[in-house]
Structure 1
Amino acid sequence: MSDLSITISAEKPGDAQAIERLHERTFGPGRFVLSAYRLREHVHHLLELSFTAHIGTLLVGSVRQLPICVGDTKALMLGPLTVEPPFRKHGIGRMLMERSVADAKAQGHRFVLLVGDAAYYARVGFKPVPKGRATMPGPVDYNRLLVNDLVEGAFEGVSGEIRPDWDYAR
């Protein structure tokens, strides 16, 4: 962890522009063709499960959660998670993930999916989705499709296409 004074707080509507600029800097224009971004085009992320990291008044990180379905089963998709490059390696990403996952569990959500590096996300309970159990729109490296059961065994028997949860359509 870091000796920086980091504050994790719920994302507010007024944070949207600063978060979008952070995404531009860290992911670049190619982010829009990624499968996870295709899901985000159709539904809003959940503010109550999306968090920001600040050092003083400077926004240095963000994590969002999106309402999705796997087949007919409601779930969440974590992401994007990003931290300003100069502030990486201070535990900020982990703090954001831990808060987002803990709040999702406390609110009764059963499991969270994401596309990311298994070694990094395993630290907070994510593991690979068994091959063939879930599909996403567009190209995706299925070795990077991960799940975190917030309730033991919640992902057992779940399969199908990952799609936006249309109850939250824009």
Structure 2
Amino acid sequence: MQTPSITLAHETPADHWEVEALYDLCFSPGRTALSSYRLREDVAPIADLCWTARDPDGVLSGVIRCWPCYVGDVPVVLLGPVAVHPTRQGEGIAGLLIYRVTQVARKAGWSRILLVGDLPYYSRFGFHPLSAVVMPPPTNPARVLGLALTQDAWAGIHGPVRKADDCISPR
């Protein structure tokens, strides 16, 4: 698999409706009913961790957003959703977006990233199951995954995931 010529850029306000349309295409408009969206409601995404992927013609091929949240009192990045246009899936675009987010988050001082997803896919990026972290129901606990950006960042971290009230600082 060869990754196509793709340009990654921070998502801007001008990208908003195009990004929303891609999310609707990939996940359906009912996606906002998922429990992870309760953690995103009325919370601003982490701007430095929201990226678009465009092809050489400027067509939106993929997107990723990240949100602040807490596990107990510990600030965490909630990764997702990540979406790739159906005609571009299998080209490595999601991987480019995920790697970019992990690099930028690490440089910004974040220690851990959380997501709800399939372990066989996300394990290639270093994500592992978080049995002590509880997402709001009806999330399948086996799909709660974490990535440590610093050594042992998830050690001792447990409890319910809760939404951030305001922008939070990494640690």
Give me the TM-score of the superposition, normalised by structure 1. Answer: 0.94
Instruction: Report sequence identity in percent.
Output: 38
**TM-aligned CA deviation for residue 158 of structure 1:** 0.9
The answer to whether the Cα contact below 8 Å between 2:114 and 2:144 also exists between their aligned partners in 1 is yes
Q: Report what 1:104 is aligned to.
A: 105
Q: In the alignment, residue 141 of structure 1 is paired with which amino acid?
A: N
Whole-angstrom distance in 1 between the partners of 2:78 and 2:14: 22
Distance 1:119 1:3, change over 3 A: closer
**2:157: which partner in 1?**
158
Stretch moving more, 10-19 or 101-110: 10-19
- Residue deviations 1:116-136, cap 9 Å, x none? 011111111101112xx1222
Paired amino acid for 1:94: G
CA gap 1:135/1:2 in 2 versus in 1, 3 angstroms: same
Counterpart of 2:66 in 1: which secondary structure? strand
* One-letter identity of the residue aligned with 2:76: A
The answer for the alignment partner of 2:134 in structure 1 is: 135
The answer to whether 1:77 aligns with 2:73 is no
SS of the equivalent of 2:161 reads strand
Please name the residue that 1:12 is paired with.
Answer: 12
Q: Tell me the CA shift for residue 162 of structure 1.
A: 0.5
Q: C-alpha distance in 2, partners of 1:38/1:145?
A: 15
Deviation by residue 1:132-169 (Cα, 9 ceiling, x = unmatched): x1222231011110000001101111111111121239
> 2: distance between equivalents of 1:17 and 1:67?
22
Distance in 2 of aligned mates of 1:148 and 1:11: 23
Aligned partners of 2:7 and 2:160: how far apart in 1? 36
C-alpha contact (below 8 Å) 2:26/2:83 kept by paired residues: yes
Instruction: Tell me the SS of whatever aligns to 1:166.
Output: coil
Counterpart of 1:48 in structure 2 is 48
| Distance in structure 1 (CA, Å) of the matches to 2:63 and 2:2 | 17
Q: Deviations over 1:48-105 (max 9, x none)?
A: 1111100021011000110000000001000000000000000000000000011000
Give ranges in structure 1 of 5+ residues lacking alignment: none
2:60 is aligned to 59
8 Å Cα contact 1:63/1:80 also seen in 2: yes
Further displaced range: 49-58 or 2-11: 2-11
Query: Across the two proteins, how many residue pairs are aligned to each other?
Result: 167
- Cα distance between partner residues in 2 of 1:19 and 1:101: 20
2:39–2:164 CA contact under 8 A, matched in 1: no
2:44 is paired with a residue whose SS is: coil
